[in-house]
Homo-oligomer: A and B are copies of this chain.
Amino acid sequence: MIVLGIDPGYGRCGFGVIESNESAMNGWSHLASGVISTSAETEFSDRLLEIGDDLVSIIRQYKPELLVIEQLFFAKNTTTAMKVAHARGMIVYVAKKEGVRVEDVMPNEVKQALTGYGAADKKQMQEMVKTVFGLSKVPEPDDAADALAIAWTGATRAAYL
C-alpha cells in the first residue's frame, strides 16, 4: 500500500510518499518526499493551478491508495489561514478526482503518533521521522519531513487508535 502525506500550503506544500514494507523496521519505507513551491510573484489563482498540476503528477507517478492531509488549525482568522484553506480544498478535490481516498489528521494527532506526546516540538518530530523510516538524515526541507510524519500517522492509524 502506498500513502501520500500532504502538509498543505500555497507557498510551500510538503509531500511525502511511503510504502508498506514488511522488511522495514517500522513497516513502512520512504519512497519520495519534497516540496511543491510557488512564487509570491505569481497570481494566487495561478499558484493554485501550479500546485494542483504538480500534485496530479505526483499522484500519477506513485499511485497512492490514500492521501493523508493535515487539518488546519489557526488561532486567528488571518489572510494566510484563508489562503491555506483555499489550497487545501483544491488538494482534496484533486485527490478525489484522481480516485484517491482522503483522510484528515489533526496536528496533535501527528505529534502523538510519532513521539507519543501531543505537544512535541518540531525538532523532536523531525528526528522521529528519520528514525521511523531508518533514514541517514532528517528529510529536507521541513515541509517534506512534516508530510512524511502526516503520511505515517494516517497509514498507521489503525495500529495506535
Contacts and interface: CB of A to CB of B under 8 A. Distances in A.
A45 B102 contact: yes
Nearest to A92: B45
Interface stretch (A32-40, A72-80, A152-160): A72-80
A94 B90 CA distance: 8
A44 B96 CA distance: 11
A64 B103 CA distance: 34
A47 B24 CA distance: 37
Contacts of A76: 77
Q: How many copies does the complex hold?
A: 2
A127 to B, nearest CB: 31
Contacts of A85: 82-83, 85-86, 89
A8 to B, nearest CB: 10
A49 interface: yes
Given A49-B97, A90-B92, 12 more contacts: A44-B92, A45-B95, A48-B93, A49-B96, A75-B77, A81-B82, A82-B82, A86-B88, A86-B92, A87-B89, A88-B89, A89-B90
19 contacts: A45-B95, A45-B96, A45-B102, A46-B96, A49-B97, A52-B93, A74-B77, A75-B77, A77-B81, A81-B82, A82-B85, A85-B89, A86-B86, A86-B88, A86-B92, A87-B89, A88-B89, A89-B90, A90-B92
